[in-house]
Amino acid sequence: MDHVTALLFDPHKLSRECFRSVLGGTEIYVSDEAENLEEVLDALYEAVIDLVVINLRNPLEEVANCVRAIRERSAETRIIVIGEVEAAIRLEKVGGADGYVLHDYSSDGLVDALRRVHSGEKVYPPAVARALEKAAARHEKEAAAQNREASAKEARTPNQRVRGLSESEIEKVARILVRRYGLDAEEHAAQSVETLERGGVEHYVGDWKQILSAIQTMKAETPSNYRH
C-alpha cells in the first residue's frame, strides 16, 4: 500500500510522540512535525504533504489562520483537526478543515478518519454534524424571515429596490448549501433561480444567480472539498 505522508501540528512534544505511536504500522507515515504555523509552512515548502493533522490546542484564530495558509500554500493537502465539539463548530464558521476528530476518539477511530479524509471525504463526528445542521437551519430560517421582511418593505415602497445580498453573504449561503446538499447544491440553487423567475420575484433572482455562480466556482476550484 502506498504511503500517505502526514505532518503533525501540535505544540506539545508528548502529544506528537503519541500520534506517531498510534500511526506506526499503518500506511500513514509521519514525515514531519511542527510546533507553530511557521514550521508548518516551511514543511510544506520542502516536501509534498498529503495530510496535516492539527491538534486544536493553540488559540482558535491561530488555527484558522493556519488552515487558510495551508490552503494557499498547498491546495491538494488535506487537513484534519482534533479537538472538542464547540471548537470544531467555531472553526468551521471561519474556514473549515476537511475533517474533525474529537479528543475522545479511539486510536482506530483516528486512523479511520485520516484515511477517509485522505480519500476525499468530509468527515464530521455526529455531534459536530448535528450542530452544523442546526446552525444552517437557523441561518436559513433567519434568511427566510429577512426575505419576508424585504418583500413587505418593497410592497410598501414599490419604487425602491430592496438591497441585495453582499458578497460575503452570497459566499456564506453558497457554503451552507454545499455543506447541506453536497453534489446537489448546484441543482438546488438552479431550481431556486427558475422558481423565482417564474414567480416574477426579480429582486431575488439576481442574488440566487450569484449564489449559483459561487457554488459553481467552489466546485471548480476545490472539487475534492465539494464532495459530501
Contact 81, 99 (CB under 8 A): yes
Q: How confident is the model at residue 203 (pLDDT cuts 50, 70, 90)?
A: low
Residue 156 is predicted with a pLDDT of 47
Q: Indicate the SS3 state at residue 41.
A: helix
Q: Is the pLDDT of residue 154 over 60?
A: no
The residues spanned by each domain of the chain are 4-124, 129-226
Residue 72 is predicted with a pLDDT of 82
Give the containing element (helix H, strand E) for 91: helix 85-95
| Mean local confidence (pLDDT), 205-217 | 84
Residue 215 is predicted with a pLDDT of 86
Residue 160 is predicted with a pLDDT of 40
User: Residue 79, exposed/middle/buried by CB under 10 A (0-12, 13-18, 19+)?
Assistant: buried
Residue 47 has which C-alpha cell?
516536501
Cβ partners under 8 Å of residue 163, min gap 6: 150
Residue 193 is predicted with a pLDDT of 78
| Mean local confidence (pLDDT), 122-141 | 77
The alpha carbon of residue 208 and the mean position of all alpha carbons in its chain are separated, in whole angstroms, by 21
Q: Smallest Cα–Cα separation from 94: which of 104, 81, 78?
A: 81
Task: Specify the CATH superfamily of domain 4-124.
Answer: Response regulator (3.40.50.2300)
Angle at 112 between CA 109 and CA 115, to 5 degrees: 150
pTM: 0.56
